[in-house]
Each structure stands twice: as C-alpha cells, then as structure tokens.
C-alpha cells in the first residue's frame, strides 16, 4: 500500500516536472494528492524540503550510487557518477529552470537550500571527494586537481543535459552511456599517473 508521504512525492514530482518549482504550489500538490496543506507540511516542513525529497527520491542521481575508492576502475566508477549526473540534470532542469529568470526567487531558494545543507555545489563536492580519495590511493597522479576535474565533469553534465532538453524537451531520451564515457575519459586522461 502506498503511504501518504509516497503519494505526496509522486504528485509533487509530476507537478514539478510539468510546471516547475516557481509555478507549482503546495496547495496544488496537496489537492492532487487528496490531503490538506497542513498534512503536506507535516511530512515535509516547507516547499524546499519537498523539492529536495523529490530530487533525492524521484530523480535518479549520483547520491544513489555506491562507488568506493580503490574498487573497480577509476574510469568505470567515474563514468557511473557522470551518467547519473547527466540523468539527474536532464530530469531536474524542467523543475528548476524558471528559477534562473527570477533573481528574488532564486535568492530565496539558495537560502533555503543552504539551510537544508543542499544545493548545486554538492554535485561537484561528491566528484571531488571521490577523486581526492583515488588520488590519495595513488590511482591518480599526485598533482591531479580533484576540484577542477569535478567542476569540468559537472559542468559538462549540465551542458549536455541542457542541450538534450533544449533540442528534445522534457521527454528527451537519457544521454547514451558512451556520452558519459567520453566526458569521463576527456577529464580523466590527464589525471592518470604516468607509467
């Protein structure tokens, strides 16, 4: 049986995907779910917590992956992180895109995400942490810059997702695996130890 929380998340994911976080209201989400707004707030506290729950639980992303430094190959692990990040951005762009056009709403969103320990900077932090651990294990060159490599990969993922959304809209197919592999290898090659 589906719980009330799950029903709210499902409705919120659908509404956010079609209307975006700026246009979607908690009242609308509550009505579609068949609950009151106070019930919605009981489960999620505020609209940003609801958005975070949707992004974490209904939109696949790198936080759902378990890649362990020192296990598998760096290229394979990084490709999985890159692929998941591509998918995450492609699915979350319709939800968040309108924020860019509204500086006041963007500032409020940024402040709320900061209060909840979330935000777009966390994607690069995850990549950088993984790369730093691999460098410390000797699987990357001692001079490798995990922060710069993470910024390049996350930026590449965002750019690719934007282009797919721009060309095909919200129903665009996910980026093929070979695109994630190409992005990964372009950034990874210079980081590998010589010899």
Which two three-digit tokens encode residue 14? 């659908």
Sorted by where each starts, the structural domains of the chain and their CATH numbers stand as 1-58 (1.10.10.60), 60-195 (1.10.357.10)
Give which of 58, 41, 63, 46 is closest to 6, Cα–Cα. Answer: 58
Position 31 scores a pLDDT of 92
The DSSP call for residue 59 is S
Angstrom CA distances, 16 to 12, 76, 137, 153, stand at 6, 32, 41, 26
**Candidate from 84-88, 117-121, 140-144 with smallest mean pLDDT:** 117-121
Cα(159)–Cα(90) distance, rounded to whole angstroms?
10
CA 112 to chain centre: 17
What is the overall mean pLDDT for the chain? Answer: 89
Which two three-digit tokens encode residue 114? 């900061």
Position 42 scores a pLDDT of 93
DSSP-H helix ranges across 24-136: 26-33, 37-44, 47-57, 74-96, 103-115, 121-136
Confidence tier at 138 by pLDDT (50, 70, 90):
very high
Cα(73)–Cα(191) distance, rounded to whole angstroms?
13
Position 20 scores a pLDDT of 83
Q: Between 114 and 153, where is the model more confident?
A: 153
Which two three-digit tokens encode residue 105? 């709403």
Q: Between 16 and 150, where is the model more confident?
A: 150
Angstrom CA distances, 105 to 98, 99, 101, 108, 190, stand at 9, 6, 9, 5, 40
Residue 195, pLDDT above cutoff 70: no
């Amino acid at each position: 049986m589906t719980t009330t929380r799950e029903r709210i998340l499902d409705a919120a994911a659908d509404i956010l995907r079609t209307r975006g976080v700026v246009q979607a209201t908690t009242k609308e989400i509550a009505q579609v779910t068949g609950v009151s707004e106070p019930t919605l707030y009981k489960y999620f506290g505020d609209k940003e917590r609801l958005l975070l729950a949707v992004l974490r639980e209904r939109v696949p992303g790198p936080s759902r992956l378990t890649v362990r430094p020192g296990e598998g190959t760096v290229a394979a692990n990084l490709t999985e992180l890159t692929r998941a990040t591509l998918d995450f951005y492609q699915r979350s762009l319709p939800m968040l895109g309108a924020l860019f056009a509204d500086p006041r709403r963007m500032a409020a969103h940024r402040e709320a995400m900061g209060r909840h320990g979330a935000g777009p900077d966390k994607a690069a932090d995850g990549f950088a942490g993984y790369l730093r651990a691999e460098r410390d294990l000797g699987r990357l060159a001692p001079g490798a810059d995990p922060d710069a490599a993470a910024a390049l990969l996350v930026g590449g993922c965002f750019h690719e997702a934007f282009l797919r959304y721009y060309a095909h809209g919200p129903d665009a197919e996910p980026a093929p695996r070979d695109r994630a592999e190409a992005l990964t290898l372009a950034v990874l090659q210079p980081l590998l130890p010589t010899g």
